[in-house]
Structure 1
């Protein structure tokens, strides 16, 4: 069994695309910095233009249309939906329990926190504030699978662009409906568009990502937009969770420019000494995503850390924890194997 698992893991590693992992690493570094950076200046504002859209775009890269076969649907739920639900609730319960031990709030607050985990979305803040990403991803993924049943790319595009325009046509769900949407479901209307772009555009990105002109062009466009924001020629915000979006067309186009620039940059970074570190980070974005805010709360109690210290800790500590879990699992598997050979019955 151990040999089979090792072979499976080797095959899965071989299928990984280094520049995709590096792009995810750049995205998660931006997320962690965005949550630790103390000043809402141009740097802060502009990283929010692209880091979460990037994750939804990359999330669409490997989405395959489902067939109408019931078994295929069951496998999709078993292997794509159910694991993420387990991660969402398992990680949420763990962090809320740690919050109870560290912060020592009253029991009523903790029970209410569990309730907010069920509702999700903007009801979550503090240590679990970033959990909205998982629920929005799940809803957007389910929507995308339905849209991929449409017969033509044009009809699919028509639907996802309509959903995007609908999802950005109002300030936020609470202002429009009087209450926040469970699981930030309305944000999934935006996320579905980004995921469809990733699903549709992956083949073209693979073909053109090595083109130096594309890297130069997209970096120039992205840099120009940052400069325009810096000098107040434009004033655009794009905060997906809070649904704070100043311009629909800006939110439609600009994240795609930045995401393309990041993907092109990631392609060339794979040939640098940073390759190993970035690919390792990129392969573990989910534990970093879900764990860094809780770690910030602990570090804040120990000292008065700078945003740089928080950022480094928010990336390294979840990585170390994951590696420790891998080692523990490996030693446990070897221990079980020895027990089997000593006493096969």
Structure 2
């Protein structure tokens, strides 16, 4: 059987999302009102976008050993393996590149196990992987054991607002929950929404999509204006569980994500763009390694600026992804795999 055909607009949407992730991290803690506005505007939608796309290809499972083997072995296990494998690699890289003590490094291995908002520097985005895995697990169970869509949403909305309430609570005295598990409660709603939106997306007339995109983009610009003028207090920092307010977090991210999906389909209809496709197909590597790549900019005072961090944060992991793909496609690599 041939490889399953990829849906290009999904790759383009992932590309837009990962560029937003890198940009948000690059401009973090950089002074300036315009960058502060841009930072918060990015955070209104970029991580919900990935959670929504996580719901696109979810499958119901049967209440059998085969169903549970698919969920735990095929969906959850690879995420956890990637989390710990890349986490260990980056902790070791951080130890030598940042000249950290072994006491700090050993403690970081322990923090990797607890995860969530305890992770910083190279691993600051790793909260997403564990939260994503928990949300995949919960949302799969929801669509498998609750058959009616309206009831699925009733459950998802209830646990969404439970997650909102948990942002001000501690976990046995700790400020953060292990694996940022409370954020997974919000992610279940976005993931379920993505699961159902994906089924309907191709059935919607392109004319209506364009109309929505125009109004949705105008709405985004209006929100940015309100925030810049101090008339909107909307913050969605998921890792630190800082959310103002629950209703805004419920309505605004899905509305903006839909604009990204339509814009991505527009790119596909325009003929596509190969580099964007490649970036969209390798978002995991960029997500894992862009923070480490930022340190390259500190080697020279000339490059130690946020715009160079964006360039390096994208270019270095993309080069790594290209090298990995080249080895996978190389006949020598195939011969090694055959011998093994």
- CA displacement at 1:336 relative to structure 2: 4.1
3-state SS, counterpart of residue 174 of structure 1: coil
Provide the rounded CA distance (Å) in 2 between the counterparts of 1:326 and 1:199. 29
Matched residue pairs, number? 329
Deviations 1:222-253 (A, max 9, x none): 22212221222212111111111111000000
Q: Look up the match of 2:314.
A: 315
Partners in 1 of 2:140 and 2:171 — Cα distance?
29
Distance, in Å, in 2 between the alignment partners of 1:176 and 1:36 is 33
Asked if 1:208 corresponds to 2:204, the answer is yes
How far apart are residue 274 of structure 1 and its match? 5.7
Whether the 8 Å CA contact 2:22–2:310 is kept in 1: the answer is yes
Question: Out of 189, 193, 196, which is 2:192 matched to?
Answer: 196
Deviations along 1:3-36, whole A, 9 cap, x unmatched? Answer: xxxx64xx23x2x111111111111101100000
Give the deviation of 1:48 after TM superposition.
0.3
Name the CA shift for 1:246/1:69 in 2 (closer, same or farther; >3 Å): same
* Aligned 1:166-181 pairs, distance under 5 A: 166-174=162-170, 178-181=174-177
**Partner residue, 1:62:** 57
Aligned structure 1 segments of 4 or more residues deviating by more than 6 angstroms: none
1:107 partnered with 2:105:
no
Q: Is the 8 A contact 2:290 2:313 kept in 1?
A: yes
Picking from 89, 92, 95, the partner of 1:94 is 89
After the TM superposition, which of the residue ranges 152-161 and 224-233 deviates more from structure 2?
Answer: 224-233
Distance 2:295 2:287 in 1: 14
Structure 1 residue 50: Cα displacement: 0.2
Check conservation: 2:56, 2:198, Cα contact below 8 A: yes
Cα deviation, residue 181, structure 1: 0.7
Q: Deviations 1:290-343 (Å, cap 9, x if unpaired)? A: 110111123323444221111111111111111111222333335449x97xxx
Which residue number corresponds to residue 116 of structure 2?
A: 121
Partner of 1:287: 285
- Equivalent residue for 2:39? 44
- 2:255 and 2:205 map into 1 onto residues whose CA distance is 13
- Matches of 1:30 and 1:284, distance apart in 2: 15
| C-alpha distance in 2 between matches for 1:172 and 1:295 | 33
Whole-angstrom CA distance in 2 between matches of 1:145 and 1:173: 27
Deviations 1:279-300 (A, max 9, x none): 1111111110111011112332
What is the aligned partner in structure 2 of residue 20 from structure 1?
10
The residue aligned with 1:261 is: 259
Correspondence for 1:32 among 22, 25, 48: 22
Which residue number corresponds to residue 231 of structure 2?
233
State how far apart, in whole Å, the 1-side matches of 2:314 and 2:271 are. Answer: 19
Distance between the aligned counterparts of 1:204 and 1:227, measured in 2?
32
How far apart, in 1, do the equivalents of 2:75 and 2:101 lie?
36
Aligned counterpart in structure 1 of residue 221 of structure 2, from 220, 223, 244: 223
The offset of 1:175, in angstroms, is 8.4
What secondary structure is seen at the aligned counterpart in 1 of 2:203? helix
Bigger mean CA offset, 138-147 vs 207-216: 207-216
1:273 CA displacement: 6.5
The alpha-carbon deviation at position 207 of structure 1 amounts to: 2.0
Equivalent residue for 1:130?
125
Match of residue 179, structure 2, among 171, 178, 183: 183
* TM-score for the superposition, normalised by structure 2: 0.91
Structure 2 residue 74 is the aligned partner of structure 1 residue 75: no
- 1:84 is aligned to 79
- TM-score, normalization by structure 1: 0.90
User: Quick check: 1:168–1:245 contact (8 Å CA) kept in 2?
Assistant: yes
Decide whether the 8 Å contact of 2:297 with 2:308 is kept in 1. no
Partners of 2:297 and 2:305 within 8 A in 1: no
The answer to whether the aligner puts 1:325 opposite 2:324 as a matched pair is yes
CA distance in 2, matches of 1:80, 1:296: 30
Q: CA deviation at 1:44?
A: 1.1
